[in-house]
Chain A
Amino acid sequence: MIFTYYPGCTLRTKAKDLDRYARLSAEALGITLEEPENWQCCGGAYSNVNDEAATKLSAARVLNSAKELGRPLVTVCSACHNVIKQTNYDIQHNATLAYKVNNYLGLDPQYNGETTVYHYLEMLRDVVGFDKLAEKVVNPLKGKKIAAYYGCLLLRPSRALSMDDPENPTIMEDFIRAIGADPVIYSQRVECCGGYITLEDKAQASKRSSAVMTDAEENGAEMVVTACPLCLYNLKKNSGSQLPVVYITELLAEALGVKEESNE
C-alpha cells in the first residue's frame, strides 16, 4: 500500500526522529510512504482569515498532488495535519475559496477537496487497524505507564478534523494499548502546551506546559507521548519536568522492533 506522505518542514529540521521512525514503522507495517515532488511549507499555522486564499495555497498544492497521484495523504506533525485538513475542509465547504484557490494555482482539472487526509494515527487506526498493529508488535512495552498528550491542534476544530472527540479522545490511548503499554488518563491531555507563545512569553508557555506535565506525573505517568514537534519542545524545555517526552512514532518503532539509535 502506498500513501502520499507530507513530512513538513519541522520534520526535516527539529523533529527528524518523528519523521524517521514514521517511515521505518510504516515500512514494517507494509505501507510505503512517498513524498510528493516539490512540496512546500504547509503554512505553519492555519489562518482564520477566510476571505484570503493566499495562506492556503501551499496546503492546497500538496492536496492536489496527492489527488493527481490518486492516493490518500498522510501527515504526522499535528500542525501540518491541522492546516492541511482544515484547508481541505474549507475547499469542500466554501465554494468561493475553492474558486480562488483553483484560480491562483491554475489547476486543471480543478481541485475540490477530493483527497482523503489521514493523520498517521488515523492511518494506524483506520487503515492498519489497532488489532492488526498489536499482532505485529514484537517488543511490547509491557507495564509501561504512558500518558498520551494530544495538545490542541490534533483534534480541533473537530468538525473539520473529524478524528476523535476533542474533549474525551481515545485514539492515542488505543494506540498505547496496541503497543502493549498502559495508557494514563489525565485531564490536561487535551489542553494547550503554550504553543508559539514560547517565542514571546516563556513564562506563560512554562505555566501551561508544567500544568500538563504535573497532571500527567500526578496520575502516575512514566512517559509522555505526543505527535507534535512544538508540544514536544514545550513539554521538554519549558515545563521543568524530568519526565521523558517522546514522539508516537518512536514508541511505535520500538514496539515494532525497528528502532535504531538516533543521530540527534
Chain B
Amino acid sequence: MQRIGVFVCHCGTNIAATVDVKAVAETLKNESGVVFSTDYQYMCSESGQNIIKDAIKEHKLTGVVVCSCSPRMHEATFRKAVASVGLNPYMLEVANLREQCSWIHKDIATATEKAVILGRAAIAKVHLNAPLTAGESPVVKRALVIGGGIAGIQTALDIADAGFDVDIIEKEPTIGGKMAQIDKTFPTLDCAACILTPKMVEAAQNEKIHIHSFSEVADVKGFVGNFTVTIKKKARFVDETKCTGCGLCTEKCPMKKVPNEFNMNLDNRTAVYIPFAQAVPKVARIDPNYCLMLKNGKCGVCSKVCSVGAIDYKQQDKFIEERYGAIVVATGFNPIKLDKYDEFAYSLSPDVVTSLELERLMNAAGPNGGTLLRPSDKTHPHTIVFVQCVGSRCDDSKGKPYCSKICCMYTAKHAMLIREKYPDTEVYVFYIDVRTPGKNFDEFYRRAVEEYGVHYVKGMVGKVTPRTDGKLAVQASDLLSNEQLHIDADMVVLAAAIEPDKTARPLATMLTTQMDTNDFFTEAHPKLRPVESATAGIFLSGACQGPKDIPETVAQASAAAAKAIGLLCKNSITCNPCVAHSDELMCNGCSSCEKVCPYGAITYIDKEFRMPDRTTAIRRVASVNPAVCQGCGACTVACPSGAMDLNGFSNSQIMAEVDAICK
C-alpha cells in the first residue's frame, strides 16, 4: 500500500477563486492510502516545495499528488522537488485543477466537485505508479539550418562560431534570400548587399559551415539530439565541385529570353545562369525549362565553352542522408500574389509594381542599373503613389488578417530615397495607420514627412485606371479632410502583404512541429520561449515564425543559435522513461504496433522461447527501442493482444483513473 500525500495549490486566486481548495484537501484526506493532505497558496514557490519535501520525510510518503496547474507548467518543478528528498520523481502525479477546472468553470460548488474527482483520479493512478529511471541518449554534435536567407546565415555563423558543424539547406541555387534582393535597409539606409554579402562569403568560407544550395529536405526521422535528415540535392546540371563561376557559359548561352526571377522578372537572364554577381556558391545552374539542350537535345554551347568540364546534362537529383542533433527552421517569407487586388490594376499595367519589384528597379544591379524608370516606357516617373496594407489587415478571406509589420518602414524608405534622388518627383503614401515602433524607426518616418516632403494621406486607394496617355488615374479617399482625391500618377507601388514560404507547411509535417492558421511556425511559448518550437530540438529563426524586419530577424536568428548551441553542448540528454515496452509472452507478432509507430521505434525480432512442454520454439515478437520511442502510446492502443504497455501510463493506470472518475 502506498503512503500518499496530497498538496492542493491555490495558485493565488487562479484556482482558489472558483474551487474551495480547503474542502478539496479535506475530502481527499479520506481517500484510501492518503496519509497527509494540505493546501497552500503557491505550491510551486520555494516554501510550497518545502511543504512537500517535509511531508515526504515526516510521513514517509511513497507517492505524491499535487493538485495545481497543467503538468506542462510545473510537473518538472515538482518532480525535482520530490527527487531532492529521495523519492523517485515518477511517483508524483499532477492533477490539473487550473486549466481543466477553475479557469473553465464559474460555479464554485460544481468546480469543487470536479476538483475532487480529478484529485481522486490522480490518487488512483499513483497507487499503481512504479519508480522509473530515465536513460540517456547521445547528442549528435551537428546542426541543420533549413533556409539560407539572412536568418539562416546568421544562425549558422553563430553555431559555427561556437565550434559545431552546421549545414545550411537552401532551395534556391544561392544563399542570400530576400535580403539579397533588397536595395537599401532602414533606418540607416545602408546598402543591403554591402552588409549581407560579407556574411554570405563568411558562411561559405567557414570550415564548420556546409552549404547545400539548390537542395531540399526530403525526409526527417528521429528525435531531439538524434535526427536523421534526407537531403534532396536537386540536379543543377553543373558539377558544383568543378564550376569556378567564371560565367563564360552564361555569356555564350543562346537562350537569352528567360525571365530573371532575381530581378522579379523585370528583365531576362540566360538558360544557364548564376543568379547574381555575389551568389554563394558562385556556381552556374542550367534551367531545364528553357535549356535547348535539355529540351530538344540541340545546342551544347555551354559544355563546349566550359574549360573545366563542369557541365553535366545527365545530372540527376541526388539524395544524401545526414545526422543532426538540432534543427533550425529559417524558411522565410514571400510577398502574396496580387491577382485578388486588381482594383490596383497590377495585372493591367507594368507601371503598377510591388515594393520588392521597386527594390530591383532602384538597385544598381537591377534592370535599369539603378535609375528609376517606368517599366512601360523607360521614362522618369514624376508622380508616384504608394499603397500600403495591400492584403494586410484584411477582415475578409482574400487577404491576411495580420499586419505584415515591415511595410510602413520600407515604404517610408522608398519614398525618402525617391525624393532624395529625384526631387522633382511627387510622392504620395496612402496608409490606414503608420506603424513604426522600433529603435530610430519613428524618427525615420517623421524625416520622410518633415524633411523630404512625402505626402502621407490617411485613406485607401479605391481604384487605379491605366489610361492610354500612359498615366495611371488613381482614385482615393483622404479620410482626414473627407475628400475624394484624383491623382494622375506615373507609377503605383503596392506594399503587398507577406506570407510564409510555401515549403513551410510540408516541412512542418515532416518535423512534427506546429503552425498557426496563417502557416507561421508556432513558438513553444509566445513570450517566454519565442525561438523554440514545441517539438524538442527544433528551433525557429526569422520570418517563418511571424513577420519581421532585418534587425529583428538577426536577433532571433542569434537567439535560435544560442538555443541550438545549448543543446549541442550536452554530450547526452536525459530520455523520457515513459516509453513503451512489449510483454513478449503476450505478443503474437502481428506487426500492428510497428505500423502505427510514427517514430520507427518498433522492430520485430525472432526469439527463442521455452514452451510448457519443455521444447523450444522461435517466435516473432515486437521489440521497442527506448531511445527512439517518444511515449506517444499509439502502439498500446493498436496492440490487439494487450502486450504493449507504456511506462508511467500503463493500461491499468489509465483504467484506474477512469474508474476513480466514474465512481
Q: Which residues of A contact B (CB under 8 A)?
A: 159, 165, 167-168, 185-188, 190-191, 211, 215, 218-219
Contacts and interface: CB of A to CB of B under 8 A. Distances in A.
Given A159-B396, A187-B348, A167 B342 contact: yes
A188 B465 contact: yes
Contact of B341 (A167, A188, A211, A218): A167
Contacts of A219: 468
A35 to B, nearest CB: 36
Given A159-B396, A187-B345, A187-B348, A165 B340 contact: yes
7 contacts: A167-B342, A168-B340, A168-B347, A185-B347, A186-B465, A187-B466, A191-B463
A158 B348 CA distance: 22
Which 9 residue pairs of A and B lie closest in terms of their CB atoms, listed nearest first?
A: A168-B342, A218-B468, A187-B465, A167-B342, A167-B343, A187-B345, A187-B348, A168-B339, A215-B465
A186 B465 CA distance: 8
Nearest to B396: A159
A178 B467 CA distance: 28
* Size bracket, chain B contacts: 10 to 19
Given A167-B340, A188-B465, A215-B467, 10 more contacts: A159-B396, A165-B342, A168-B340, A168-B341, A168-B347, A185-B347, A185-B348, A186-B348, A215-B465, A219-B468
Contacts of B217: none
Contacts of B340: 165, 167-168
Contacts of A185: 347-348
Interface string B461-498: 00111111000000000000000000000000000000
Nearest to B345: A187
Interface of B: 339-343, 345, 347-348, 396, 398, 463-468
A150 to B, nearest CB: 12
A215 B471 CA distance: 12
Contacts of A186: 348, 465
Contacts of B341: 167-168
Contacts of A191: 463
Contacts, number: 36
A218 B467 contact: yes
A237 B342 CA distance: 28
Contacts of A218: 467-468
Nearest to B397: A159
A86 B398 CA distance: 20
A246 B96 CA distance: 71
Contacts of B347: 168, 185
B74 to A, nearest CB: 45
A101 to B, nearest CB: 26
Determine which residue in B339, B345, B347, B465 has the highest number of CB atoms from chain A within 10 A of its CB, and name it.
Answer: B465
A186 B398 CA distance: 22
Contacts of B342: 165, 167-168, 187
Nearest to B467: A218
A163 to B, nearest CB: 15
Nearest to A212: B465
A205 to B, nearest CB: 16
A188 B462 CA distance: 11
A147 B574 CA distance: 70
Contacts of B466: 187
Contacts of A159: 396
Contacts of A190: 343
A167 B342 CA distance: 5
A43 to B, nearest CB: 25
A185 B339 CA distance: 14
Determine which residue in A165, A167, A218 has the highest number of CB atoms from chain B within 10 A of its CB, and name it.
Answer: A167
A187 B396 contact: no
Nearest to B343: A167
A63 B97 CA distance: 53
A84 B126 CA distance: 64
Contacts of A188: 463, 465
Contacts of A211: 465
A185 B348 CA distance: 8
A188 B398 CA distance: 21
Contacts of A167: 340-343
A15 B339 CA distance: 34
Contacts of A165: 339-340, 342, 398
Determine which residue in A167, A187, A218 has the highest number of CB atoms from chain B within 10 A of its CB, and name it.
Answer: A187
A168 B341 CA distance: 7
Nearest to A157: B396
A218 B341 CA distance: 22
A165 B468 CA distance: 25
B284 to A, nearest CB: 38
A221 to B, nearest CB: 12
B340 to A, nearest CB: 6
A215 B466 CA distance: 8
A218 B339 CA distance: 23
A4 to B, nearest CB: 30
Contact of A187 (B339, B398, B463, B468): B463
Nearest to B341: A167
B350 to A, nearest CB: 14
A211 B467 CA distance: 11
Nearest to B352: A187
A160 to B, nearest CB: 12
Nearest to B339: A168
Contacts of B396: 159
Contacts of B465: 186-188, 211, 215
A167 B396 CA distance: 14
Nearest to B338: A168
B460 to A, nearest CB: 13
A214 to B, nearest CB: 8
A167 B341 CA distance: 6
A219 B466 CA distance: 9
A29 B333 CA distance: 48
Nearest to A219: B468
A123 B591 CA distance: 54
A165 B338 CA distance: 12
B227 to A, nearest CB: 43
A76 B396 CA distance: 27
A187 B342 CA distance: 8
A119 B65 CA distance: 66
Nearest to A190: B343
A215 B341 CA distance: 19
A211 B465 CA distance: 10
Contacts of B464: 187
A168 B344 CA distance: 10
A247 to B, nearest CB: 25
Determine which residue in B341, B342, B463, B464 has the highest number of CB atoms from chain A within 10 A of its CB, and name it.
Answer: B342
B472 to A, nearest CB: 9
A20 B339 CA distance: 36
A19 B340 CA distance: 32
A51 B465 CA distance: 38
A165 B341 CA distance: 9
Contacts of B398: 165
